[in-house]
Amino acid sequence: MRIGGNVVTLLQEAIKASREAALTWRLVGPLGTVRWLGGALAAAPAVVRSRSLAPADRALGATFSVWSDGYSFKLEDAEFGICREIFGHDCYGLRPLRGQLRTVIDLGCNCGAFTLMAARLNPDCRILAVDANAAFTATTLRNAAANQVGDRVTARTELVGSAEVDSIQELVDAAACSDRFSPAEAIERLGGCDFLKCDVEGGEHALFGDELDWLRRVRRLAIEYHWDRAAGERLAQRLQAAGFRVELRPHGRLGYVFAMAVR
């Protein structure tokens, strides 16, 4: 049974890799895909063992261009795995809202991939990008300028959620960040929030804690939740109580919560 199970697992991983290779072809073209596949083959044992395509993603380096939604996005100091999820899989659900967003907040902006996609799909949109790591906010601003949307993007180096979460503390220690993100103040300055994206390594549970009056000015949310499905369900319940229609999409220990205001 174990041999059969291993064969099934290998087939599943092969199918996944082939789908991701096809997606990579659309994003970075044939030459980029050859590099990506080369990285996967060179680290094949690790890829199979970990069930992660990170070695393939790293083979593209930190500077590359991505073709998506009719635009060429130039990125530097970026991770292709993140860009593959955002531009390729549209993991935060931006495409159906094309042209509808005027104010967006990107919490956990990293290299700015989500910020760039939101800006390109919504020409009138203003975006606030936030990260606890100053290197990420600086990279986001550089990438925004390189892609001709810098005039619509602002960035802040601030801690979102709780510093008591281990992974968040690591970010804070690395970035020497002491400023805390205030959602109410940020939304007031931005003039509302049509879409809030949140990927802050567990800090979302403190951000969406007891005081949620600020959510009255938020129309939509897309949150990557951490730890386990039970944590995601608790987060979804809080948003439902705050007047949102919620969809929970578990993905292993992580997952996504999508919410739209219905009040």
DSSP state of 197: E
- Taking the alpha carbons of 19, 24, 29, 32 in that order, is the dihedral positive or negative? negative
- pLDDT tens, 205-222? 999 987 899 999 999 999
Strands 103-107 and 193-198: parallel
Give the residue-averaged pLDDT of 163-168.
Answer: 52
pLDDT of 4 above 60? no
Rounded to an integer, what distance in angstroms lies between the CA atom of residue 208 and that of residue 165?
Answer: 14
Rounded to an integer, what distance in angstroms lies between the CA atom of residue 41 and that of residue 28?
Answer: 18
The token duo for 183 is 């959602």
pLDDT of 117 above 90? yes
Instruction: Return the pLDDT at 10.
Output: 64
CB 177 within 8 A of CB 171: yes
- pLDDT tens, 16-56? 789 999 999 999 999 999 999 999 899 888 887 888 899 99
pLDDT tier at 3 (50, 70, 90 boundaries)?
Answer: very low
pLDDT of 164 above 60? no
- Taking the alpha carbons of 159, 160, 164, 169 in that order, is the dihedral positive or negative? negative
- Cα maximum dimension of the chain: 60
Strands 193-198 and 244-251: unpaired
Give the residue-averaged pLDDT of 163-169.
Answer: 52
The token duo for 172 is 């804070």
Secondary structure (3-state) at 164 = coil
Instruction: Return the pLDDT at 253.
Output: 81
Instruction: Return the pLDDT at 51.
Output: 81
| 79 Ramachandran zone, left/alpha/beta (phi>0; psi -120 to 50) | beta
pLDDT tier at 9 (50, 70, 90 boundaries)?
Answer: low
Sequence-distant (≥ 6) Cβ neighbours of residue 81 within 8 angstroms? 53, 54, 57
Instruction: Return the pLDDT at 178.
Output: 72
- pLDDT tens, 126-138? 999 999 999 999 9
For the ranges 63-72, 90-99, 183-192, 249-258, the lowest mean pLDDT is seen at 249-258
- Residue in 62, 80, 63, 61 with CA at minimum distance from that of residue 23: 80
Q: Give the mean pLDDT of the chain.
A: 90
Amino acid identity, residue 37?
Answer: L
pLDDT tier at 166 (50, 70, 90 boundaries)?
Answer: low
Instruction: Return the pLDDT at 176.
Output: 58
Global pTM value: 0.91
Instruction: Return the pLDDT at 43.
Output: 87
pLDDT of 173 above 60? no
Taking CA atoms, 256 is separated from 104, 107, 149, 207, 248, in Å, by 18, 14, 27, 15, 6
The token duo for 54 is 């990170």
